[in-house]
Amino acid sequence: MPEQPLFEYAVIRVVPKVEREEFMNVGVILFCRPKRYLDCKITLDEARLRAFSPTLDLEALKAFVTGFEKTCRGEGPIGQLDPASRFRWLTAMRSTILQTSRVHPGLCSAPEDTLDRLHRELVLQA
């Protein structure tokens, strides 16, 4: 039986009006320490986002997403932290337009495949 190390993931959400607490899933971030893996997959469906929130500033959202992705990849000041610290920083609870769910655990042998599967299930099919 192949090794199935522990991984952690969170759903990345757009929260246009934080006071309303309504959100749309747009991505997933996954961290697997034993495999030295940290990555995220984000899909911004602009038509769906506009239907969800007609006043949403898509350019600002894209800038937040770019910053999130860069930090995940190890770029920028926070990107200089080790992967576990970056994951914790990115998944920390905050009150902003781009948020994450609580962190959930699981077991996987291929984190890349697991990230793709979670993205399909929690973002594309949502």
Q: Per DSSP, what are the bridge partners of residue 98?
A: 14
pLDDT at 21: 86
40-81 per-position pLDDT tens digit: 999 999 999 999 999 999 999 999 999 999 999 999 999 999
DSSP codes, 13-33:
EE-SSTTTT--EEEEEEEEET
| DSSP string for residues in the chain | -----EEEEEEEEE-SSTTTT--EEEEEEEEETTTTEEEEEE---HHHHHHH-TT--HHHHHHHHHHHHHHHHT-HHHHTS-HHHHHHHHTS---SSEEE---EEEE-S-HHHHHHHHHIIIIIT-
Mean pLDDT across the chain, nearest whole number?
Answer: 94
Predicted confidence at residue 48, as pLDDT, reads 94
- Closest by Cα among 3, 5, 21 to 13: 21
Half-sphere exposure of 109 (CA within 13 A, CB side): 3
